[in-house]
Amino acid sequence: MKILVLYDYPPSPGGLATQGDLLYKGLLEMSVDAHAVHFESAQEKEWYYRWFEPDVVVGVGYWGHTPHIVLHPQRYGVQVIPWLVADGYIANYHEILNALPLILVTSNWVKEMYVRDGINADKIEVLPVGCNTDTFVSFNKDDPKILAVRETLGISQDQLMILTVGGDAASKGAQEVMQALAIIDTKAPDWKYVCKVWPQPRTKIQNLADLEMAKHLGIEKNVTYATNTISRNFMPYLIGACDIYAAPSRLEGFGMPQVEAGACEKPVIGIRAMGMLDTLIHGKTAFVAKVAQKIAVNEVILADESGFEDNHRMIFNVPRTVDYRANVHDIAKYLMELMTDASLREKMGKAARKHVVQNIDYRVVANRFVQIINDRLNIK
């Protein structure tokens, strides 16, 4: 079997790049004849089509990447299998996607979104994003690298560190976490809440709004926003430095940081919805707060990245849910339980790592990918 993997290659620190790179790594370790190329590099992709002659091209992205990961390889007669995430609504390329023999998606919730928006369910198989459980591991609290992370963040040894990581923090549920922390602040042990976000104009604006909320709640001295650019090499140590990973995300097709936190033996607080229903086991590997609110819209504005002209208005006959909000009192309850019980944090963390190793390790995912290709397309 010869596989060409299209993604953001060489990989940036982002989720889609990591998703593709871990599949590529897993395939190579299985001795599959595989190569990787940037999904937008038309010339290099064509070069591989011509000399490598892959049996399958798997493209990592969302439905808006269809021109790059589906239509381009099809022009050269290559079998295409997209591996897709969702962004709340699938607005275009339905005919093209429904003509494919197979579509991979990252969770059962993503599958539901594609089916809801007109993609044939029989075409879709769920393949989770892999996790590198060789690098995301449990670290000793006295490890110099872990101590150094906490020192750079101004967190002492006796303080509990709660962590959220995302492009921005609000989309990962940070505002709900801050409201919960404000509820339990006077009863909880000494704590710091760290939000690691990416430096970009949109994030800067959101950060200011989040910090204004922290000030309004009276917890601003306990909240830190880290906005530096970091590499994937640093991520295991950042997660390893925390005591609780809290990300009851507002929109989450899979939840890679939640899985990586589990691999580091950290208890996770999530939301009982979307991709986390596949990856978190309530009461065993994580606590998942109930959904307090679903945000629905009657219309969206799309642009050329989605295959439309700029400011294209799409009006729905039935409002579409595009965002979720976790129950703040649930989050407060679960935070308090974890913050006051070190043995519970340890027990839940160990169960989380076991679950990730057995079910979501990148080698498990690569093996599952090959099985799906064998079964569905009869390619050996």
Tally of structural domains, the chain: 2
147 Cβ contact partners less than 8 Å away, ≥ 6 residues apart = 141, 157
Residues 181 and 301 in one domain: yes
Amino acid at 131: C
User: Is residue 138 in some structural domain?
Assistant: no
Residues 182 and 305 in one domain: yes
Give residue-wise pLDDT tens across range 236-265.
Answer: 999 999 999 999 999 999 999 999 999 999
Q: Residue for token digits 């409002």?
A: 319
Task: Provide mean pLDDT across the span 84-103.
Answer: 90
User: Is residue 137 in some structural domain?
Assistant: no
Amino acid at 192: K
Please choose, from the candidates 376, 356, 359, the residue with its C-alpha nearest in 3D space to the C-alpha of residue 135: 356
Sheet (strand 191-196) strand order = 223-226, 191-196, 160-165, 244-246, 268-271, 286-289
DSSP 282: B
Residues 41 and 180 in one domain: no
Residue 355 gets the label, from left (phi > 0), alpha (psi -120 to 50) or beta, of alpha
User: Is residue 28 in some structural domain?
Assistant: yes
Residues 80 and 203 in one domain: no
Residues 54 and 121 in one domain: yes
Residues 68 and 215 in one domain: no
Please choose, from the candidates 375, 1, 357, 18, the residue with its C-alpha nearest in 3D space to the C-alpha of residue 9: 18
* pLDDT at 29 > cutoff 70: yes
Amino acid at 154: G
Q: Residues 163, 239: contact at Cβ < 8 Å?
A: yes
User: Is residue 77 in some structural domain?
Assistant: yes
Residues 191 and 311 in one domain: yes
- pTM surpassing 0.85? yes
Residue 173 gets the label, from left (phi > 0), alpha (psi -120 to 50) or beta, of left
pLDDT at 311: 78
Residues 176 and 318 in one domain: yes
Domain that holds residue 100: 2-130+361-377
Residues 65 and 160 in one domain: no
Residues 354 and 373 in one domain: no
User: Is residue 111 in some structural domain?
Assistant: yes
Give residue-wise pLDDT tens across range 161-189.
Answer: 999 999 999 999 999 999 999 999 999 99
Residues 218 and 158 in one domain: yes
User: Is residue 135 in some structural domain?
Assistant: no
- Residue 127: pLDDT band with limits 50, 70, 90: very high
Q: Give me the CATH number covering residue 149.
A: 3.40.50.2000
Residues 109 and 236 in one domain: no
DSSP 254: S
User: Is residue 25 in some structural domain?
Assistant: yes
146 Cβ contact partners less than 8 Å away, ≥ 6 residues apart = 139, 140, 237, 240, 241
Amino acid at 135: T
Q: Which of the listed ranges 202-211, 221-230, 274-283, 314-323 does the model predict with the highest average pLDDT?
A: 274-283
The first and second tokens of residue 151, run together, are 């020192």
